[in-house]
Amino acid sequence: MTLESLKPEIEANVPGCRLEIIPNPSPSAQHSLLIDAEHALAVATFLRDAPHLRFDYCSNVTGVDWPAPTLAPSKATETGEAVESTEAPATGHLEVVYHLYSMELKHGPVILRMRTQDRATRVHLPSLIAVWRSVDFQEREVFDLFGVIFDGHPDLRRLLMWEEFTDFPMRRDYVEPDDYEYEPTAHDKVLLKTTQHHGGTA
């Protein structure tokens, strides 16, 4: 089974869904299928329930941060003079990746991807916990570390960071704090930064 054969089958069984095959040029060649959030639950349910597919197990859920480019590309005029592009720069997005296997039929993986609309306010995606119970803690981890909000998750709260924490440590633009307020036993570099932050010497 290939994604090239699976894609039209999903499209025939989930009308209106938007799918795109994302190639992976690495030696693993594990290509993935980008699915639209609106039809994600229907696609996931089809992959789980179709008798010849039976993707009944999601082994892992991971997050990826794709930030916006720092500068819009420049353009050259006919005289060769560079000018700033007037095109709006991309906003960047967050991505969630699901690895699916069939324990019953012993095949896989099929890799699904979903993307948020941006990295700021439109970071909602549907939770797939109603299809695969194993995504429970893993979606919470992606929420905790990347900031993706999984609509429909029954217990979406921080898993690794404390509830009062307001940042997302796995984003590419995350900046470590100077004082490490919640570090119980500061040592080495943490101790040095904490001491400097409070105006002392190590």
Per-residue pLDDT of the chain (202 residues), as tens digits, is 799 999 999 999 999 999 999 998 888 888 999 999 999 999 999 999 999 999 999 999 999 999 987 544 444 445 545 444 444 446 799 999 999 999 999 999 999 999 999 998 999 999 999 999 999 999 999 999 999 999 999 999 999 998 888 899 999 998 877 655 655 666 677 677 767 766 765 5
Is residue 169 a contact partner of residue 150, using CB atoms and an 8 Å limit?
no
Residue 83 in any domain: the answer is no
Structure tokens at 62: 């991971």
102 and 21 assigned to the same domain: yes
188 and 159 assigned to the same domain: no
Report the alpha-carbon distance of residue 33 to residue 7 in Å, rounded.
Answer: 8
161 and 181 assigned to the same domain: no
Report the alpha-carbon distance of residue 132 to residue 99 in Å, rounded.
Answer: 11
105 and 182 assigned to the same domain: no
Per-residue pLDDT at 98: 98
Report the alpha-carbon distance of residue 138 to residue 118 in Å, rounded.
Answer: 21
115 and 190 assigned to the same domain: no
Report the alpha-carbon distance of residue 133 to residue 58 in Å, rounded.
Answer: 8
181 and 139 assigned to the same domain: no
Is residue 123 a contact partner of residue 36, using CB atoms and an 8 Å limit?
no
96 and 183 assigned to the same domain: no
pTM for the complete prediction?
Answer: 0.81
Is residue 160 a contact partner of residue 137, using CB atoms and an 8 Å limit?
no
18 and 110 assigned to the same domain: yes
Residue 9 in any domain: the answer is yes
18 and 42 assigned to the same domain: yes
Residue 141 in any domain: the answer is yes
Structure tokens at 19: 């799918």
Residues of the domain holding 184: 176-202
Provide the pairing of β-strand 74-76 with 82-84: antiparallel
